[in-house]
Amino acid sequence: MSRRKRARLVLEDGAQFEGWSFGAPSGIEGEVVFTTGMAGYPQSLTDPSFFGQILVNTYPLVGNYGIPGDEVDASGLSRHFESSRIWASGLVVSEACALPSHYASVRSLAAWMESQGVPGIEGIDTRALTIRLRERGVMRGSIRIEGRPSPEPAASAHAVDSVSRHEPALYGAGGSPKVALVDCGAKNNIIRCLLARGAEVRVLPWNAALEGVEYDGVFLSNGPGDPKACTKTIATVRRLLAGGSAGDRPVFGICLGAQIMALAAGADTYKLPYGHRGQNQPCIDASTSRCYVTSQNHGYAVRAESLPAGWEVWFTNGNDGTVEGIRSTRGPFSAVQFHPEGCPGPRDTEFLFDDFMARARASAARLGSSNLGFGSTPGAALALAKAPASTGIQGGQR
Protein backbone atom coordinates (compact mmCIF):
# COMPACT_ATOMS: atom_id res chain seq x y z
CA MET A 1 0.00 0.00 0.00
CA SER A 2 1.42 3.38 -1.01
CA ARG A 3 2.18 5.96 1.64
CA ARG A 4 -0.49 8.57 2.17
CA LYS A 5 0.52 12.00 0.93
CA ARG A 6 0.09 15.13 2.94
CA ALA A 7 -1.98 17.86 1.33
CA ARG A 8 -2.92 21.48 2.02
CA LEU A 9 -5.84 23.66 1.12
CA VAL A 10 -4.49 27.20 0.69
CA LEU A 11 -6.97 30.08 0.50
CA GLU A 12 -6.31 33.37 -1.22
CA ASP A 13 -6.47 35.18 2.13
CA GLY A 14 -3.44 33.17 3.29
CA ALA A 15 -5.27 30.64 5.48
CA GLN A 16 -4.03 27.04 5.20
CA PHE A 17 -5.69 23.77 6.20
CA GLU A 18 -3.58 20.61 6.52
CA GLY A 19 -4.88 17.20 5.55
CA TRP A 20 -4.33 14.10 3.43
CA SER A 21 -4.61 13.60 -0.30
CA PHE A 22 -7.18 11.25 -1.82
CA GLY A 23 -8.46 10.89 -5.35
CA ALA A 24 -6.10 12.13 -8.05
CA PRO A 25 -2.64 13.00 -6.62
CA SER A 26 -2.44 16.39 -8.34
CA GLY A 27 -2.92 19.98 -7.30
CA ILE A 28 -5.76 22.14 -8.51
CA GLU A 29 -6.97 25.72 -8.20
CA GLY A 30 -10.57 26.95 -8.06
CA GLU A 31 -13.23 28.87 -6.19
CA VAL A 32 -13.77 27.29 -2.76
CA VAL A 33 -17.47 26.87 -1.92
CA PHE A 34 -19.36 24.77 0.61
CA THR A 35 -22.50 22.63 0.45
CA THR A 36 -24.65 21.57 3.39
CA GLY A 37 -26.01 18.41 1.76
CA MET A 38 -25.74 15.21 3.80
CA ALA A 39 -25.94 12.83 0.81
CA GLY A 40 -25.96 12.90 -2.97
CA TYR A 41 -22.24 13.51 -3.52
CA PRO A 42 -22.19 11.55 -6.85
CA GLN A 43 -24.90 13.84 -8.21
CA SER A 44 -23.38 17.03 -6.81
CA LEU A 45 -19.93 16.31 -8.22
CA THR A 46 -21.41 15.66 -11.69
CA ASP A 47 -23.60 18.78 -11.58
CA PRO A 48 -22.17 21.15 -14.25
CA SER A 49 -23.01 24.11 -11.98
CA PHE A 50 -19.93 23.18 -9.90
CA PHE A 51 -17.59 23.77 -12.86
CA GLY A 52 -14.30 25.31 -11.71
CA GLN A 53 -15.11 25.05 -8.00
CA ILE A 54 -13.49 23.22 -5.09
CA LEU A 55 -16.41 21.78 -3.17
CA VAL A 56 -16.37 21.61 0.64
CA ASN A 57 -18.79 19.17 2.28
CA THR A 58 -19.99 20.35 5.67
CA TYR A 59 -21.29 16.87 6.51
CA PRO A 60 -18.31 15.10 8.12
CA LEU A 61 -18.42 11.65 6.47
CA VAL A 62 -18.48 11.40 2.68
CA GLY A 63 -18.25 8.32 0.49
CA ASN A 64 -19.81 5.76 2.83
CA TYR A 65 -22.21 4.41 0.20
CA GLY A 66 -19.65 4.47 -2.58
CA ILE A 67 -20.21 5.23 -6.26
CA PRO A 68 -22.71 3.40 -8.50
CA GLY A 69 -22.06 2.15 -12.02
CA ASP A 70 -22.41 3.85 -15.39
CA GLU A 71 -25.73 2.30 -16.46
CA VAL A 72 -27.94 4.35 -18.77
CA ASP A 73 -31.69 4.34 -19.25
CA ALA A 74 -33.74 3.89 -22.44
CA SER A 75 -33.12 7.51 -23.39
CA GLY A 76 -29.35 7.16 -23.10
CA LEU A 77 -29.21 9.19 -19.89
CA SER A 78 -27.18 7.99 -16.95
CA ARG A 79 -29.31 6.42 -14.27
CA HIS A 80 -27.17 7.70 -11.44
CA PHE A 81 -25.25 10.83 -12.43
CA GLU A 82 -26.23 14.33 -13.53
CA SER A 83 -23.79 14.42 -16.45
CA SER A 84 -21.08 12.30 -18.05
CA ARG A 85 -18.22 13.43 -15.80
CA ILE A 86 -17.18 15.14 -12.58
CA TRP A 87 -17.33 18.92 -13.06
CA ALA A 88 -16.11 20.06 -9.64
CA SER A 89 -12.38 20.84 -9.67
CA GLY A 90 -11.75 19.25 -6.28
CA LEU A 91 -13.39 17.98 -3.09
CA VAL A 92 -12.68 18.84 0.55
CA VAL A 93 -14.06 16.62 3.32
CA SER A 94 -13.50 15.87 6.97
CA GLU A 95 -13.40 12.11 6.35
CA ALA A 96 -13.52 10.15 3.08
CA CYS A 97 -14.79 6.59 3.56
CA ALA A 98 -12.32 4.15 2.01
CA LEU A 99 -14.53 1.03 2.37
CA PRO A 100 -18.06 1.90 1.22
CA SER A 101 -21.05 -0.34 1.80
CA HIS A 102 -24.06 -0.22 -0.52
CA TYR A 103 -25.70 -2.73 -2.86
CA ALA A 104 -25.31 -0.37 -5.88
CA SER A 105 -21.69 0.60 -5.18
CA VAL A 106 -19.06 -0.53 -7.68
CA ARG A 107 -16.12 1.63 -6.53
CA SER A 108 -15.03 4.01 -3.83
CA LEU A 109 -15.28 7.77 -4.00
CA ALA A 110 -11.46 8.03 -4.06
CA ALA A 111 -11.11 5.54 -6.92
CA TRP A 112 -13.78 7.32 -8.97
CA MET A 113 -12.17 10.71 -8.46
CA GLU A 114 -8.73 9.36 -9.31
CA SER A 115 -10.04 7.83 -12.54
CA GLN A 116 -11.31 11.26 -13.58
CA GLY A 117 -8.26 13.21 -12.48
CA VAL A 118 -10.03 15.07 -9.67
CA PRO A 119 -8.09 15.64 -6.42
CA GLY A 120 -9.48 15.63 -2.91
CA ILE A 121 -8.25 16.45 0.56
CA GLU A 122 -9.51 14.90 3.79
CA GLY A 123 -8.72 15.19 7.48
CA ILE A 124 -9.17 18.94 7.79
CA ASP A 125 -11.49 20.88 10.08
CA THR A 126 -14.31 21.58 7.62
CA ARG A 127 -16.28 23.34 10.37
CA ALA A 128 -13.57 26.00 10.76
CA LEU A 129 -13.24 26.27 6.99
CA THR A 130 -16.99 26.73 6.51
CA ILE A 131 -17.13 29.40 9.21
CA ARG A 132 -14.31 31.25 7.48
CA LEU A 133 -16.11 31.14 4.13
CA ARG A 134 -19.36 32.29 5.74
CA GLU A 135 -17.65 35.23 7.45
CA ARG A 136 -15.38 36.30 4.59
CA GLY A 137 -17.25 34.99 1.58
CA VAL A 138 -16.21 32.38 -0.96
CA MET A 139 -12.71 32.86 -2.30
CA ARG A 140 -10.23 31.21 -4.58
CA GLY A 141 -7.94 28.55 -3.24
CA SER A 142 -5.80 25.61 -4.23
CA ILE A 143 -5.21 22.00 -3.22
CA ARG A 144 -1.47 21.31 -2.97
CA ILE A 145 -0.08 17.80 -2.71
CA GLU A 146 3.15 16.83 -0.96
CA GLY A 147 5.94 16.23 -3.47
CA ARG A 148 3.93 17.68 -6.37
CA PRO A 149 4.38 21.07 -8.02
CA SER A 150 2.01 23.81 -6.96
CA PRO A 151 -0.90 24.19 -9.36
CA GLU A 152 -0.74 26.96 -11.92
CA PRO A 153 -3.51 29.57 -11.86
CA ALA A 154 -6.36 28.26 -13.97
CA ALA A 155 -6.94 30.04 -17.27
CA SER A 156 -10.18 31.98 -17.34
CA ALA A 157 -12.87 30.29 -19.39
CA HIS A 158 -16.47 30.95 -20.28
CA ALA A 159 -18.05 28.69 -17.69
CA VAL A 160 -21.31 27.99 -19.50
CA ASP A 161 -19.61 27.40 -22.85
CA SER A 162 -17.32 24.91 -21.11
CA VAL A 163 -20.18 22.74 -19.83
CA SER A 164 -22.90 23.16 -22.46
CA ARG A 165 -23.24 20.63 -25.22
CA HIS A 166 -22.17 22.12 -28.55
CA GLU A 167 -24.47 19.99 -30.69
CA PRO A 168 -28.26 19.71 -30.34
CA ALA A 169 -29.89 16.48 -29.23
CA LEU A 170 -33.41 15.08 -29.28
CA TYR A 171 -35.05 13.01 -26.54
CA GLY A 172 -38.53 11.51 -26.53
CA ALA A 173 -39.14 12.03 -30.26
CA GLY A 174 -42.84 12.28 -31.03
CA GLY A 175 -43.79 13.32 -27.52
CA SER A 176 -45.96 16.29 -26.68
CA PRO A 177 -45.57 19.12 -25.95
CA LYS A 178 -42.35 20.05 -27.70
CA VAL A 179 -39.88 21.61 -25.27
CA ALA A 180 -36.75 23.50 -26.29
CA LEU A 181 -34.26 23.06 -23.43
CA VAL A 182 -31.47 25.65 -23.53
CA ASP A 183 -28.46 23.86 -22.08
CA CYS A 184 -26.43 26.20 -19.89
CA GLY A 185 -25.20 23.18 -17.92
CA ALA A 186 -28.42 21.19 -17.66
CA LYS A 187 -28.66 18.37 -15.13
CA ASN A 188 -29.86 15.03 -16.47
CA ASN A 189 -32.78 15.01 -14.07
CA ILE A 190 -34.31 18.06 -15.75
CA ILE A 191 -34.52 16.01 -18.95
CA ARG A 192 -35.83 13.00 -17.03
CA CYS A 193 -38.60 15.06 -15.42
CA LEU A 194 -39.71 16.44 -18.78
CA LEU A 195 -39.63 13.01 -20.44
CA ALA A 196 -41.60 11.49 -17.57
CA ARG A 197 -44.38 13.96 -18.42
CA GLY A 198 -44.48 12.95 -22.06
CA ALA A 199 -42.53 15.82 -23.60
CA GLU A 200 -40.35 15.79 -26.67
CA VAL A 201 -37.18 17.54 -25.51
CA ARG A 202 -34.83 19.33 -27.88
CA VAL A 203 -31.65 20.12 -25.99
CA LEU A 204 -29.87 23.09 -27.56
CA PRO A 205 -26.48 24.72 -26.95
CA TRP A 206 -26.52 27.74 -24.62
CA ASN A 207 -25.86 30.16 -27.50
CA ALA A 208 -28.23 28.62 -30.05
CA ALA A 209 -30.79 30.82 -31.72
CA LEU A 210 -34.32 29.43 -31.72
CA GLU A 211 -35.12 30.32 -35.33
CA GLY A 212 -36.42 27.26 -37.12
CA VAL A 213 -36.79 25.15 -33.97
CA GLU A 214 -40.24 23.73 -33.27
CA TYR A 215 -41.33 24.22 -29.67
CA ASP A 216 -44.37 24.77 -27.50
CA GLY A 217 -42.33 26.00 -24.55
CA VAL A 218 -38.77 26.98 -23.69
CA PHE A 219 -36.88 25.73 -20.64
CA LEU A 220 -33.76 27.56 -19.41
CA SER A 221 -31.44 25.27 -17.47
CA ASN A 222 -29.10 25.63 -14.53
CA GLY A 223 -25.41 26.28 -15.08
CA PRO A 224 -22.21 27.76 -13.62
CA GLY A 225 -20.71 31.21 -13.39
CA ASP A 226 -21.83 34.79 -13.78
CA PRO A 227 -25.15 35.04 -15.68
CA LYS A 228 -24.03 38.32 -17.25
CA ALA A 229 -21.49 36.35 -19.29
CA CYS A 230 -24.35 34.64 -21.15
CA THR A 231 -25.02 37.58 -23.45
CA LYS A 232 -26.26 35.46 -26.36
CA THR A 233 -28.72 33.56 -24.18
CA ILE A 234 -29.95 36.80 -22.62
CA ALA A 235 -30.56 38.27 -26.09
CA THR A 236 -32.52 35.17 -27.14
CA VAL A 237 -34.67 35.25 -24.01
CA ARG A 238 -35.24 38.98 -24.41
CA ARG A 239 -36.79 38.28 -27.82
CA LEU A 240 -38.97 35.55 -26.26
CA LEU A 241 -40.25 38.00 -23.66
CA ALA A 242 -40.92 40.73 -26.21
CA GLY A 243 -44.38 39.46 -27.16
CA GLY A 244 -45.98 38.48 -30.43
CA SER A 245 -46.47 34.86 -31.44
CA ALA A 246 -43.27 33.75 -29.70
CA GLY A 247 -44.32 35.57 -26.56
CA ASP A 248 -47.42 33.41 -26.24
CA ARG A 249 -45.28 30.37 -25.48
CA PRO A 250 -44.24 29.72 -21.90
CA VAL A 251 -40.65 30.16 -20.76
CA PHE A 252 -39.48 28.63 -17.48
CA GLY A 253 -36.01 28.81 -15.91
CA ILE A 254 -34.11 27.07 -13.14
CA CYS A 255 -31.10 28.46 -11.23
CA LEU A 256 -28.88 30.23 -13.79
CA GLY A 257 -31.94 30.21 -16.04
CA ALA A 258 -33.74 32.40 -13.49
CA GLN A 259 -30.90 34.91 -13.48
CA ILE A 260 -30.80 34.97 -17.28
CA MET A 261 -34.54 35.58 -17.44
CA ALA A 262 -34.23 38.44 -14.94
CA LEU A 263 -31.44 40.07 -16.96
CA ALA A 264 -33.45 39.64 -20.17
CA ALA A 265 -36.40 41.35 -18.50
CA GLY A 266 -34.22 44.31 -17.52
CA ALA A 267 -33.41 43.46 -13.91
CA ASP A 268 -29.97 43.14 -12.30
CA THR A 269 -28.07 40.27 -10.65
CA TYR A 270 -25.29 40.19 -8.06
CA LYS A 271 -22.94 37.69 -6.46
CA LEU A 272 -23.92 36.32 -3.05
CA PRO A 273 -21.28 36.29 -0.29
CA TYR A 274 -21.21 32.48 -0.08
CA GLY A 275 -24.17 31.32 -2.15
CA HIS A 276 -26.81 28.69 -1.50
CA ARG A 277 -25.61 25.11 -1.92
CA GLY A 278 -27.33 22.19 -0.26
CA GLN A 279 -30.61 20.35 0.04
CA ASN A 280 -32.30 22.17 2.88
CA GLN A 281 -32.94 25.75 1.76
CA PRO A 282 -36.39 27.10 2.78
CA CYS A 283 -38.27 29.00 0.07
CA ILE A 284 -41.51 30.89 0.68
CA ASP A 285 -44.19 31.27 -2.01
CA ALA A 286 -45.26 34.91 -1.99
CA SER A 287 -48.80 33.97 -3.11
CA THR A 288 -49.56 31.43 -0.39
CA SER A 289 -46.88 32.03 2.27
CA ARG A 290 -46.20 28.30 2.13
CA CYS A 291 -42.59 27.31 2.77
CA TYR A 292 -40.90 24.56 0.73
CA VAL A 293 -37.63 22.78 1.47
CA THR A 294 -35.52 22.97 -1.69
CA SER A 295 -32.28 21.79 -3.25
CA GLN A 296 -30.01 24.61 -4.42
CA ASN A 297 -26.67 25.31 -6.04
CA HIS A 298 -26.08 28.91 -7.02
CA GLY A 299 -23.78 31.79 -6.22
CA TYR A 300 -25.70 34.68 -7.82
CA ALA A 301 -29.13 36.18 -7.16
CA VAL A 302 -31.60 38.71 -8.60
CA ARG A 303 -31.93 42.18 -7.09
CA ALA A 304 -35.58 42.44 -6.07
CA GLU A 305 -35.66 46.22 -6.37
CA SER A 306 -34.40 46.06 -9.95
CA LEU A 307 -37.36 44.07 -11.32
CA PRO A 308 -39.16 46.23 -13.90
CA ALA A 309 -42.89 46.86 -14.14
CA GLY A 310 -44.77 43.72 -15.09
CA TRP A 311 -42.55 41.45 -12.99
CA GLU A 312 -42.83 40.34 -9.37
CA VAL A 313 -40.99 38.30 -6.77
CA TRP A 314 -42.49 34.81 -6.65
CA PHE A 315 -40.38 33.02 -4.02
CA THR A 316 -38.04 34.32 -1.31
CA ASN A 317 -35.41 32.53 0.75
CA GLY A 318 -36.55 31.92 4.31
CA ASN A 319 -33.02 32.33 5.68
CA ASP A 320 -31.76 35.54 4.12
CA GLY A 321 -34.76 36.99 2.25
CA THR A 322 -33.08 36.85 -1.16
CA VAL A 323 -35.10 36.35 -4.34
CA GLU A 324 -35.73 32.67 -5.10
CA GLY A 325 -38.23 33.05 -7.93
CA ILE A 326 -39.65 35.63 -10.32
CA ARG A 327 -42.61 35.73 -12.69
CA SER A 328 -44.21 38.00 -15.22
CA THR A 329 -47.66 39.45 -14.57
CA ARG A 330 -48.18 39.89 -18.32
CA GLY A 331 -47.13 36.59 -19.86
CA PRO A 332 -46.33 32.92 -19.17
CA PHE A 333 -42.77 33.61 -18.04
CA SER A 334 -41.42 32.44 -14.69
CA ALA A 335 -38.26 31.07 -13.09
CA VAL A 336 -36.90 29.81 -9.77
CA GLN A 337 -33.42 29.77 -8.24
CA PHE A 338 -33.90 26.38 -6.60
CA HIS A 339 -34.01 22.93 -8.25
CA PRO A 340 -37.54 21.48 -8.44
CA GLU A 341 -36.06 18.28 -9.86
CA GLY A 342 -33.88 17.85 -6.76
CA CYS A 343 -31.43 15.01 -7.38
CA PRO A 344 -29.90 15.17 -4.90
CA GLY A 345 -32.41 16.53 -2.46
CA PRO A 346 -36.14 17.02 -1.92
CA ARG A 347 -38.50 17.22 -4.87
CA ASP A 348 -41.34 18.94 -3.04
CA THR A 349 -41.59 21.59 -5.78
CA GLU A 350 -41.59 19.22 -8.76
CA PHE A 351 -45.16 20.37 -9.39
CA LEU A 352 -43.56 23.36 -11.14
CA PHE A 353 -42.74 20.99 -14.01
CA ASP A 354 -46.45 20.10 -14.18
CA ASP A 355 -47.36 23.80 -14.31
CA PHE A 356 -44.90 24.43 -17.14
CA MET A 357 -46.11 21.40 -19.08
CA ALA A 358 -49.74 22.49 -18.74
CA ARG A 359 -48.84 25.89 -20.17
CA ALA A 360 -46.86 24.32 -23.00
CA ARG A 361 -49.77 22.04 -23.90
CA ALA A 362 -52.10 25.02 -23.89
CA SER A 363 -49.63 26.81 -26.17
CA ALA A 364 -49.62 23.83 -28.56
CA ALA A 365 -53.42 23.73 -28.63
CA ARG A 366 -53.69 27.48 -29.20
CA LEU A 367 -50.93 27.96 -31.75
CA GLY A 368 -50.88 24.57 -33.44
CA SER A 369 -48.49 21.61 -33.22
CA SER A 370 -45.69 23.17 -35.27
CA ASN A 371 -44.78 26.31 -33.37
CA LEU A 372 -41.61 27.64 -34.97
CA GLY A 373 -39.34 30.05 -33.16
CA PHE A 374 -39.62 33.72 -34.14
CA GLY A 375 -41.77 33.14 -37.22
CA SER A 376 -39.37 30.86 -39.11
CA THR A 377 -40.54 28.58 -41.89
CA PRO A 378 -40.77 24.77 -41.61
CA GLY A 379 -38.04 24.40 -44.20
CA ALA A 380 -35.59 26.02 -41.81
CA ALA A 381 -36.30 23.58 -39.00
CA LEU A 382 -33.24 22.30 -37.24
CA ALA A 383 -32.44 18.63 -37.85
CA LEU A 384 -31.75 16.87 -34.60
CA ALA A 385 -30.43 13.36 -34.12
CA LYS A 386 -31.19 11.28 -31.07
CA ALA A 387 -28.51 11.80 -28.46
CA PRO A 388 -25.99 9.00 -28.04
CA ALA A 389 -25.88 7.13 -24.78
CA SER A 390 -23.93 9.00 -22.16
CA THR A 391 -22.15 7.75 -19.10
CA GLY A 392 -22.74 9.55 -15.95
CA ILE A 393 -24.90 9.28 -12.36
CA GLN A 394 -28.37 10.49 -10.96
CA GLY A 395 -29.24 11.30 -7.66
CA GLY A 396 -30.07 11.38 -4.10
CA GLN A 397 -32.83 8.73 -4.04
CA ARG A 398 -30.89 5.76 -2.78
**Domain shared by 214 and 295, yes or no:** yes
Domain range spanning residue 170?
160-380
What does DSSP assign to residue 378? G
How much is the pLDDT for 3?
78
pLDDT, tens digit, for every residue of 191-208? 999 999 999 999 999 999
**Domain shared by 284 and 187, yes or no:** yes
Residue 393 maps to a domain:
no
How much is the pLDDT for 55?
98
pLDDT, tens digit, for every residue of 98-134? 999 999 999 999 999 999 999 999 999 999 999 999 9
Residue 132 maps to a domain:
yes
**Domain shared by 110 and 191, yes or no:** no
CATH number of residue 186's parent domain: 3.40.50.880
Residue 82 confidence class, pLDDT cut points 50, 70, 90: very high
Mean pLDDT of 181-196: 98
Q: Which of 79, 113, 145 is the last residue of a domain?
A: 145
**Domain shared by 192 and 127, yes or no:** no
Which of 203, 196, 250, 211 is closest to 362 using CA atoms?
250
Active site amino acids = 255, 339, 341
How much is the pLDDT for 391?
28
How much is the pLDDT for 367?
83
How much is the pLDDT for 357?
98
What percent of the chain is predicted at pLDDT more than 90?
Answer: 86
Residue 386 in this model has a pLDDT that exceeds 60: no
Helix pair angle (231-241, 256-265), 10° resolution: 60
Residue 202 maps to a domain:
yes
> What are the distances in angstroms from CA 216 to CA 23, 184, 331, 352?
44, 20, 14, 16
Give the count of domains, the chain.
2
**Domain shared by 105 and 202, yes or no:** no
Residue 387 maps to a domain:
no
Buried b (16+ CB within 10 A) or exposed e, 194-233: bbebebbbbbbbbbbbbbbbbbbbbbbbbbbbbbeebeeb
How much is the pLDDT for 121?
98
319 CB contacts (<8 Å, ≥6 apart)?
A: 281, 282
Buried b (16+ CB within 10 A) or exposed e, 341-356: bbbbbbbbbbebbeeb
**Domain shared by 179 and 135, yes or no:** no
Residue 97 maps to a domain:
yes
Residue 391 maps to a domain:
no
Mean pLDDT of 361-382: 61
**Domain shared by 65 and 210, yes or no:** no
pLDDT, tens digit, for every residue of 220-270? 999 999 999 999 999 999 999 996 444 589 999 999 999 999 999 999 999
Q: Which of 114, 145, 176 is the last residue of a domain?
A: 145
Residue 370 confidence class, pLDDT cut points 50, 70, 90: low
**Domain shared by 100 and 165, yes or no:** no
**Domain shared by 110 and 183, yes or no:** no
Residue 388 maps to a domain:
no
What percent of the chain is predicted at pLDDT more than 70?
Answer: 91
How much is the pLDDT for 396?
31
Residue 155 maps to a domain:
no
**Domain shared by 350 and 206, yes or no:** yes
**Domain shared by 321 and 175, yes or no:** yes
Q: What does the radius of gyration of the chain's CA atoms come to, in whole angstroms?
A: 21
Residue 392 in this model has a pLDDT that exceeds 60: no
Q: Which of 145, 172, 206 is the last residue of a domain?
A: 145
